[in-house]
Amino acid sequence: GAGVSQSPSNKVTEKGKDVELRCDPISGHTALYWYRQSLGQGLEFLIYFQGNSAPDKSGLPSDRFSAERTGGSVSTLTIQRTQQEDSAVYLCASSNRQGNQPQHFGDGTRLSIL
């Protein structure tokens, strides 16, 4: 596709359940980022993947959060044992590693924990 694609667009789940969020970056982009945007707030960095390098997980808020990127393309963000404070929009972005290139965002997944 032409842009970053995320699924699902909306997810409602009960507290304590696990959720998986998917991101398909722009074709050819080797860098992939996950951010979280809580209601009325700015974007908070979660995790970064660059090619085959070890990911930067410094922004993950707890060990309930994890992410993987298979084959250098699609990424999955997993939240285990969800809590109400996990409710937010989870945004994925990708960029081209060739020089200082801007990040392009997907539409995000709106996660609501009941």
Partner 1 sequence: GENVEQHPSTLSVQEGDSAVIKCTYSDSASNYFPWYKQELGKRPQLIIDIRSNVGEKKDQRIAVTLNKTAKHFSLHITETQPEDSAVYFCAASLNAGGTSYGKLTFGQGTILTVHP
Region from 14-22, 29-37, 69-77, 78-86 binding partner 1, contact rule CB under 8 A: 29-37
Interaction of residue 20 with partner 1, rule CB under 8 A: no
Own/partner contacts of 80-85, CB < 8 Å, gap of 24 or more, are 80/18, 81/16, 81/17, 81/18, 82/13, 82/14, 82/15, 82/16, 82/17, 82/18, 82/19, 82/111, 82/113, 83/15, 83/113, 84/15, 84/113, 84/114
| Site pattern 53..72 for partner 1 (x: CB under 8 A) | ---x--x-------------
Give the footprint of partner 1 on this chain (CB under 8 A).
31, 33, 35, 41-45, 48, 50, 56, 59, 91, 95, 97-108
